[in-house]
Structure 1
Amino acid sequence: MKTVSVLIPCFNEVGNVGPMSEAVVNEFKENLPDYDYELVFIDNFSTDGTREKLEEICAHNPKIKAIFNAKNFGQFNSPFYGICQTTGDCTVSICCDFQDPVSLIHRCVREWEKGYKIVAAIKTQSEENKVFRFLRTCYYKVIKKMSSVEQIEHFTGTGLYDKSFVDVLRQLDDPTPFMRGIVAELGPERKDIPYTQEKRRTGKTHNNWYSLYDAAMLSFTSYTKVGLRMATFLGFIIAFVDFLFALYYLVAKIIWWSAFPLGTAPLLIGMFFIGSVQLIFLGLLGEYVMSINTRVMHRPLVVEERRINF
């Protein structure tokens, strides 16, 4: 009998881990009776009682396991590390807040049975905030155009990964893995399946503008060169425009200065414009440098505090 691992990252989900574990167990009983299962929760240093709840759940079912991180290691490292700790013939990763329907498990497994090594769940519809949805769509369109590697629109990492691909993930030496890009860059032939993202069942979302910006910058610095090349090209363009302005000022000073004084306004506007462009690209360059700095330090993805039922 083959084993399907289900990886569920969680952070302050005390109201969801219990119902989620029950829903996953029922999913296997009703829709996947021919498969054994392993349910792995990886807790990213929750402080609301989630850990105590997971201890209770694991005590009643040895097939439910838990990894407790010693600190909060971010929204990318913890799920990636959790996938690498699974032992099943394939691993399905879903969120703990019920925004990813549990029915995705058997849908992904059915496609896996057809021979696909990766099954990516694509959010074709969502009940999330309309503004966030619009911004996400714009982000995916932009990164897809700018990246030299295929980028999967509205794919957040939810889906199924064959054991062979999980072995590939274990070999990666990347302290800041961007799972969505890794799947597109290194993954074998995959199947995309659509789903509607539902509203969070309980609790509050932990995503905010900063976390979304962090995700965008990680993908941008990992899979695009366009930003730095834009800085180079724009630098040439501004230099050329400045040369034309300088030439115009020279001619005006010689011929029309007394009749048509130019003043300092154009000069000040040009200085502020050039300065703002420099600051923008200096910040962009800093993002690349920070990304490089994080990767060359070779720090572990996470540090575990303890495990249960492993």
Structure 2
Amino acid sequence: MPEIPPVADAATAAPTWSVVIPVHDCAGYLARALPEVLAQLGERDDAEVLVLDDASTDDPGGVVERLGRGRVRYLPNPGHLGAIGTFNRGVTLARGRLVHLLHGDDLVLPGFYAAFEAALADETVVAAVCRARDVDADDRPTHTTRSYRRGTGVWTDALASLVLSNRVRTPGIVVRRSAYEEVGGYRTDLPHAADWEMWTRLAAHGPVVFVDEVLACYRRHAGSDTSARVRTGANVRERVTAVGVVLSHVPERRRRPLGRRALLYAAVFASRTALQQARAGHVRTAARQLREALRCLRLVPGGGVPTAPATPSPDPVPTPG
């Protein structure tokens, strides 16, 4: 995975917050996201907001100019880097002690940054995670993630829980920049599971706090990459591959039992998706999800899939600019 270098001007006092907003053809959604971010952080002199444009064909720069109040930096990528390349560039450019990656089509809810700043007050905590609400293209709620502990505090079984499934919605996690420097950036060989692998890597590295509040919204819409992969069943196949990767972050004696549970969970996940698709009238998609569920079940008795190396060859980090 790529290295994340320390902030170049470390001698200068770092801001508390870096909100990094990757965008690709979602200028309309960006216009919904920016006002709440700025309402919470816009008057603070210890926060920066960066919009990284990954070769959009719409006009996110215009949205920043219109709504950014002079507090938002618009930074086009040097070419099309893709989601993971943009994540790594954003973390590298971020100067804040706390880094929030907020996809341009997602949202934060009131109180997000205050709650996370409190959750990360202990310098030993590497990251904090909150509950999130799934919303559709028109901001209508479709699902709310559950609590993984009662009340806000250290998520003691975070690693085991995250190995079973990606429990984190990306807008609902904040990572200490120094933790990124220590564990490295997002793996570019996992284009659809790099976030999941990162969360398990962080949980293996240090304490994670669970914020038992719904403070972020994760958008699911027909044009998203996730929706396209559901239609082909690729979402489940990639999930199986990811299980082999995240298992590398747990002690070897725990890998086989956790692998069985993770694959069983993947089969349940695919079956639930099939039911949802069938109810929506998407019969072919439902059939593909059921087929992938059966494939997962066939893998369960053996205890999972071969574990991938925890540390692949380093990838270059795009030059900040």
TM over 0.5: yes
Matches for 1:72-111 after TM superposition, within 5 Å:
72-74=81-83, 76-101=84-109, 103-111=111-119
Q: Secondary structure at the match of 2:27?
A: coil
Match of 1:223 among 225, 243, 246: 246
Match in the other structure for 1:70: 79
Match in the other structure for 1:46: 56
State how far apart, in whole Å, the 2-side matches of 1:13 and 1:133 are. 22
Q: What is the CA-CA distance between 1:179 and the residue it aligns to?
A: 1.9
Q: Give the partner amino acid of 2:224.
A: T
Report % sequence identity. Answer: 12
Match in the other structure for 2:25: 12
Q: Give the partner amino acid of 1:28.
A: L
Match in the other structure for 2:203: 184
State how far apart, in whole Å, the 1-side matches of 2:161 and 2:221 are. 34
Match in the other structure for 1:156: 169
State how far apart, in whole Å, the 2-side matches of 1:59 and 1:28 are. 12
State how far apart, in whole Å, the 1-side matches of 2:34 and 2:93 are. 18
Q: 1:188 to 1:114 in 2, by over 3 A?
A: closer
Q: 1:194 to 1:121 in 2, by over 3 A?
A: farther
- TM-score relative to the length of structure 1: 0.56
State how far apart, in whole Å, the 2-side matches of 1:46 and 1:6 are. 19
Residues 110 and 215 of structure 2 are in contact (CA less than 8 Å); yes or no, is this contact kept in structure 1? no
Report the aligned-residue RMSD.
4.8
Q: 1:212 to 1:61 in 2, by over 3 A?
A: farther
Q: Secondary structure at the match of 2:225?
A: coil
Residues 15 and 202 of structure 1 are in contact (CA less than 8 Å); yes or no, is this contact kept in structure 2? no
State how far apart, in whole Å, the 1-side matches of 2:173 and 2:74 are. 20
Q: Secondary structure at the match of 1:41?
A: strand
Q: What is the CA-CA distance between 1:13 and the residue it aligns to?
A: 1.1
Give structure 2 stretches of 5+ with no counterpart: 1-12, 147-157, 248-254, 261-293
- TM-score relative to the length of structure 2: 0.55
Q: Secondary structure at the match of 2:226?
A: coil
State how far apart, in whole Å, the 2-side matches of 1:155 and 1:187 are. 16
Match in the other structure for 1:254: none
The number of residues matched between the two structures is 240
Q: Give the partner amino acid of 1:219.
A: A
Q: 1:106 to 1:38 in 2, by over 3 A?
A: same
Q: Secondary structure at the match of 1:88?
A: coil
Matches for 1:1-310 after TM superposition, within 5 Å:
2-29=15-42, 33=44, 35-50=45-60, 52-53=61-62, 56=65, 61=70, 63-68=72-77, 70-74=79-83, 76-101=84-109, 103-113=111-121, 115=123, 117-123=125-131, 125-127=133-135, 149-151=160-162, 154-157=167-170, 158-170=172-184, 175-176=189-190, 177=194, 178-195=197-214, 198=217, 200=219, 204-208=223-227, 209=230, 212-213=235-236, 216-224=239-247, 226=256, 298-300=314-316, 303=318, 307=321
Higher helix share: 1
Give structure 1 stretches of 5+ with no counterpart: 138-146, 231-275
Q: Secondary structure at the match of 1:95?
A: coil
Q: Secondary structure at the match of 1:108?
A: helix
Q: What is the CA-CA distance between 1:192 and the residue it aligns to?
A: 3.3
State how far apart, in whole Å, the 1-side matches of 2:68 and 2:41 are. 20
State how far apart, in whole Å, the 1-side matches of 2:79 and 2:56 are. 10
- Can you list the C-alpha shifts for 1:97-156, whole angstroms capped at 9, x where unaligned? 244436322221122235563443333654469xx969x99xxxxxxxxx9855176313
